[in-house]
Amino acid sequence: MHKYQFNPYQIYHLKQWYRLITHAFLHADWTHLIINMLVLYSFGTELEYYFEYFFGTKKILYFLILYFGSIVISTLYALRKHKDNHLYNAVGASGAVSAVVFACIFFAPLEKVYLFGVVGIPGIVFAILYLIYSYYMSKKARQGGQGADNVAHDAHLWGAVFGFVFPLFLDARLFSVFINQLMNF
C-alpha cells in the first residue's frame, strides 16, 4: 500500500510518477473496492454502449483514455496542493469512476440515477447535486473544518468534470446532442 498509494510529496520530490496511476488499483477496504466496482460496472456498461454508438470501433480505446486519463486528471489538484505534505496519501479509483458516471450523464442527462438503488432522479440533477456536494466537502476539508471525512472529494470533483467534458474533446458536435436531450426535460 505504502509503495503505490498517491502521495504528492513522493511524486513531486522523489519523481515517483507511477503513483499517479497505481493508487487507483488500491482501496482502503473491501467496501470501498466493491462500491467502486459496482458503480464502474453499472455505468461502464452503459458508457460502452454510448461510445460504440457514437465512435464505433474506437469505443474501447476511448474508454481506456477516459478511464486512465481521469485517474491522472482527478489527482492533479491534490498533487499541486499537497506536493510539500509528506503525510497526504490517497487510494482508490473514485475519480475515474466519477468520470465514467459523468460521461454517461453527458450522453443521457435525463436518465434516472438511483440513489442507494431506490430513489431515482434525473442524471443532470444528480450531477449538479454531486458537484455541489463534492465542492463543499472539498472546501471543508481544505479548511480543516469539522466533518472532514478522509475522502478525496477533490478527486471526485475533478474526475466528474473531466468525464463530463471528455466526449466534447472527441467530438464537439456532441454538445448539441446533450442540449437536445435537455430540451426534452
Please name each of the domains of the chain with its CATH number: 8-183 (1.20.1540)
pLDDT of residue 146: 41
- Global pTM reads 0.92
Q: Three-state secondary structure along 24-51? A: HHCCCCHHHHHHHHHHHHHHHHHHHHHH
Mean pLDDT per segment of 10 residues, for the chain of length 185 residues?
94 97 94 93 96 97 98 95 92 95 97 87 96 89 58 92 98 95 86
List Cβ<8 Å contacts ≥24 apart for 62-70: 62/170, 66/99, 66/100, 66/103, 66/163, 66/166, 67/96, 67/99, 67/100, 68/21, 68/96, 69/99, 69/162, 69/166, 70/95, 70/96, 70/98, 70/99, 70/100, 70/159, 70/162, 70/163, 70/166
C-alpha dihedral (83, 85, 86, 92), degrees to nearest 10: -70
Amino acid at site 39 = V
Half-sphere exposure (CA, 13 Å, Cβ side) for 32?
15
- If you write DSSP's letter for every residue of 94-144 in order, what string do you get? HHHHHHHHHHHHHH-TTSEEEETTTEEEEHHHHHHHHHHHHHHHHHHHHTT
